[in-house]
Chains A and B, each alone.
Chain A
């Protein structure tokens, strides 16, 4: 099964700065998804990323705050911009394969 390498695994950032999270898949995936997860809670979809087109954002999430890059079928980035303490969370990426899904191991972000 495909493996996603997600970096960084954790970071502590100053408010007002930006952090870019990277996900590298060891095989091609069609769609990639970015989720936010508060510890002990469910996954909330931020956006769906397709290669060669703009990401599709869910209600409550905007491109200026969470710009996404998807340059090819094995790589995607999510940037959390102009961070505030409310952005402290776990961020996960996921990719769709023909037989299922693969997930990154998450990035635990703390904004101070």
Chain B
């Protein structure tokens, strides 16, 4: 079974600075997808970024980028120019290759609470 580990329960960053959130995972599959989700106090899950395992290039979305190390099974999220609105809980998640059925379920890490200091 796949597992996702987020070992840092909390992190804090100064506004406008850069922060990196760590995530490791374990799988025997070669084709899979990794995600970072943001959950603010509103409880709404918001997709931050997605990475396909077959792509060597790291995904980027504006101020958000990942460092995907497939051999090390590491998937960290870098937030640049941190803003007050980035304060939230962040979850790393894994799913197997995009196929119908039960394999489409997401496996979540425990999450990390990010606070942004003004």
Q: In the docked arrangement, what's the CA distance between A50 and B91, Å?
A: 25
B43 close to A101 (CB less than 8 A)? no
A90 close to B43 (CB less than 8 A)? yes
Q: How many residues of A contact B (CB 8 A)?
A: 20
Tell me if A30 counts as interface (CB < 8 A to partner B).
yes
Tell me if B113 counts as interface (CB < 8 A to partner A).
yes
Please provide the chain A residues from 69 to 108 with a CB less than 8 Å away from any CB of chain B in the complex: 90, 92, 94, 96, 100-101, 103, 105-106, 108
**Which of B11-19, B57-65, B101-109 is near enough to bind chain A?**
B101-109
A40 close to B89 (CB less than 8 A)? yes
Residues 72-114 of B, flagged 1 when their CB comes within 8 A of A and 0 if not, give 0000000000000000010100000000111011101111010
Q: In the docked arrangement, what's the CA distance between A103 and B39, Å?
A: 11
Q: A43-B108, A45-B105, A101-B106 are in contact. Are A92 and B47 (CB under 8 A)?
A: no
Q: In the docked arrangement, what's the CA distance between A40 and B108, Å?
A: 13
A103 close to B45 (CB less than 8 A)? yes
Q: A100-B50, A105-B42 are in contact. Are A40 and B102 (CB under 8 A)?
A: no
Q: A48-B105, A56-B102, A100-B50 are in contact. Are A42 and B43 (CB under 8 A)?
A: no
B111 close to A42 (CB less than 8 A)? yes
CB distance from A26 to the nearest CB of B (A): 15
A42 close to B110 (CB less than 8 A)? yes
**For residue A106, which residues in chain B have a CB less than 8 angstroms away from its CB?**
43-44
**For residue B45, which residues in chain A have a CB less than 8 angstroms away from its CB?**
92, 94, 101, 103
Which range contains the number of B residues in contact with the other chain? 10 to 19
**For residue B91, which residues in chain A have a CB less than 8 angstroms away from its CB?**
42-43
Q: A92-B45, A101-B47 are in contact. Are A40 and B104 (CB under 8 A)?
A: no
**For residue A31, which residues in chain B have a CB less than 8 angstroms away from its CB?**
100-102, 104-105
CB distance from B10 to the nearest CB of A (A): 10
Chain B positions near chain A (C-beta within 8 angstroms): 42-45, 47, 50, 89, 91, 100-102, 104-106, 108-111, 113
Pairs across A and B, CB under 8 Å, 23 listed: A30-B104, A31-B100, A31-B101, A31-B102, A31-B104, A31-B105, A33-B106, A40-B89, A40-B111, A42-B91, A42-B109, A43-B91, A48-B105, A90-B43, A92-B43, A92-B45, A94-B45, A94-B106, A96-B104, A101-B106, A105-B43, A106-B43, A106-B44
